[in-house]
Structure 1
């Protein structure tokens, strides 16, 4: 009467085996062997890697000298793909990876990959050789006027930029007429990009005859390169240079969020003022 039943049968364990005798050690549950669990672990790891590549971070390889000395050929950069999902758009000074906007890479050879390399590229461990992507620095965004005269300096909204990242020995602007001299106002949804190795970068300047007039649609951006991850000796972050924070470079469009903040605060100020007035006791003569 004092013993509680385990189930409908009452006397057997849940696995159909006889219960252990009192005082005897309990038998350990049987575990799957390592080799049976290994395929599951590999499958989970591959799914996680694919999700990370798709939504969070992806590695890209630097194939050319166009971003020297900031980036060297063979560097592996990690690109933030998460923030664009929340509506963030490329900003001035950021180093961004973007899809080829209009056959910029049509004459560039692609190195073949074997089966293993293709598999690793698919899940994001290795960069893909099939994707036609470029990496440049954003110089102008919607509403900006970007200008080059002579050998420089490069100007944004009339303000000359101090560009310590430009390749040593290069001038900020190129004196050639093929694309080195320009004055462009960036429309909404586009960005103007340039390489740091100014005399060795086929960037926005030299594609002004394409369908986008050298501009890159914002929706072509893959994400911002935020760190050099490989080789280890080259590890470094990729911050936005201070030159893009200088006073006067912002356009009216760029200042709009501040104006909206002021406009949004106005009703609150008026409400507080009205509340303070109504809470003030009236003077004996009726005046406030």
Structure 2
């Protein structure tokens, strides 16, 4: 039997034993395997992630190296939200973000971003340019008109960024 299959069977058996038959096995197994499942509670990431969809995130434990385009789960308590939010990384430490060029595209370090994943015909409000501080991230939803993201938090709380250390997982999308 391959080692990876054996590890899975051991993890599933442990999850079943720990569950007391009342805790979903996939959630415990995912924790053991470094994955966690979340349910999207808003339309803010549509069309990429539909409201009510379940997504799996690879958990990070202080070892997350941010990349533009990552979809992350983060602790939103500093934004006054009890729980977690799922959004896309737009700006990483040291980058400059701005909206918009004459074609309505976001600019990252002065260059237009390829954002074919956005909600169709979504409104984009101008901001920036803003340079992202060391150790922080600028996050936005894919449905920009309704997403309460860094753009909204910039107006409300100052710089609108979150600490990289608040990221608890990176969403893994199929396909």
TM-score, length basis structure 1? 0.49
How many residue pairs match? The answer is 157
Structure 1 pair 86/222, CA: closer, same or farther in 2 (3 Å)?
Answer: closer
Partners of 2:106 and 2:90 lie apart in 1 by: 9
**For residues 30-45 of structure 1, what are the structure 2 equivalents within 5 Å?**
42-44=16-18
Q: Which runs of 5+ in 1 are unaligned?
A: 1-39, 106-130, 175-179, 228-235, 238-288
Unaligned 5+ segments in structure 2 are 1-13
- Report the Cα distance in structure 2 between the residues aligned to 1:92 and 1:148, rounded to whole angstroms: 16
State the secondary structure of the residue aligned to 2:42.
Answer: coil
User: Residue 85 of structure 1 corresponds to which residue in structure 2?
Assistant: 61
What is the CA deviation profile of residues 131-184 of structure 1, one whole-angstrom value per residue up to 9, with x for unaligned ones? 61001100010110001137721000000112111101114x32xxxxx42221
Q: Which residue of 2 aligns with 1:123?
A: none
The equivalences for 1:121-140 within 5 A come to 132-140=83-91
Q: Secondary structure at the match of 1:72?
A: coil
Q: How does 1:170-189 map to 2 (within 5 A)?
A: 170-171=122-123, 173-174=124-125, 180-189=126-135
2:92 paired residue among 141, 144, 169: 141
Are the aligned partners of 1:90 and 1:224 in contact in 2 as well (CA < 8 Å)? Answer: no
Structure 2 CA distance, aligned partners of 1:156 and 1:86?
A: 25
Question: Is 1:57 equivalent to 2:35 in the alignment?
Answer: yes
The answer on whether the counterparts of 2:15 and 2:29 sit within 8 Å (CA) in structure 1 is: no
- Equivalence map 1:106-121=2 (5 Å): none
Deviations 1:33-67 (A, max 9, x none): xxxxxxx9842567985474266011000111111
1:165 equivalent in structure 2: 117
* C-alpha displacement of 1:209: 4.5
Counterpart mapping for 1:1-288 below 5 A: 42-44=16-18, 50=28, 52-53=30-31, 56-81=34-59, 84-85=60-61, 87-105=63-81, 132-149=83-100, 152-171=104-123, 173-174=124-125, 180-209=126-155, 213-227=159-173, 236-237=174-175
- Secondary structure, counterpart of 2:51 in structure 1: coil
Higher-RCO chain (CA-CA 8 Å, sequence separation at least 6): 2
Partners in 2 of 1:91 and 1:60 — Cα distance? 21
Kindly report structure 1 stretches of 4+ aligned residues shifted beyond 6 Å: none
Quick check: which one's strand share is greater? 2
Which protein is richer in helix relative to its size? 1
